[in-house]
Amino acid sequence: MLTISTELLTRIYAHLEAGYPNEACGILLGEIDAQDKTVKDLALVANVWETESAREGQRNRYLISPEDVARADRQAGKQGLDIIGFFHSHPDCPSRPSGTDREYAWPFVAFVIVSVVMGKATTTNSWVLRDDRSQFDEEPIVIR
């Protein structure tokens, strides 16, 4: 289960809508207690995916730099928090993980995908990759 406030969710949507029509991304900072994850802060980062191919551009790929992950980890540490997940948008596509997502995701943490259709955030789902990387399981999102 992933718990997040309306305020933080609104900030996620604004960041992902601003990135449209490209994929946009960020890092979730918070607390993990067994299966319960609570988002307390965000690190909004740039999509640094670069390629010459139109089919594999930022419209359907994203990459978070290791520097941004390290910075987010320090930001979390200062507040006694951890990196508890990642989020990114799927422009004009469903909020389900792609094959590429399965290749690059971290197991255990929250993997939040927001479908951004015509520039507006629509459905949001949180996924958790199994330890053996065989598949994602959906986890409920609680907004408060």
Catalytic residues: 23
- Phi and psi torsions of 109, nearest 5°: -70, 165
Q: Does 139 bind Zn ion (CB under 5 A)?
A: no
Q: Give a three-class secondary structure readout of 70-95.
A: HHHHHHHHHCCCEEEEEEEEEECCCC
Contact 109, 86 (CB under 8 A): yes
- Comparison of 75 and 102: residue with beta carbon closer to Zn ion: 102
Give the footprint of Zn ion on residues 10-69 (CB under 5 A): none
- Comparison of 4 and 63: residue with beta carbon closer to Zn ion: 63
Alpha carbons 8 and 30: distance in angstroms, whole number:
12
- Which residue matches tokens 């596509």? 93
Contact 114, 90 (CB under 8 A): yes
What is the total residue count of the chain?
Answer: 144
| Residue 80 beta carbon to Zn ion: minimum distance, rounded to whole angstroms | 30
| Residue 33 beta carbon to Zn ion: minimum distance, rounded to whole angstroms | 27
- Comparison of 101 and 139: residue with beta carbon closer to Zn ion: 101
Contact 111, 97 (CB under 8 A): yes
- Comparison of 38 and 89: residue with beta carbon closer to Zn ion: 89
# binding residues, Zn ion (CB under 5 A): 2
| Residue 101 beta carbon to Zn ion: minimum distance, rounded to whole angstroms | 4
Give the footprint of Zn ion on residues 84-103 (CB under 5 A): 98, 101
Which stretches of the chain bind Zn ion, using CB under 5 A? Answer: 98, 101
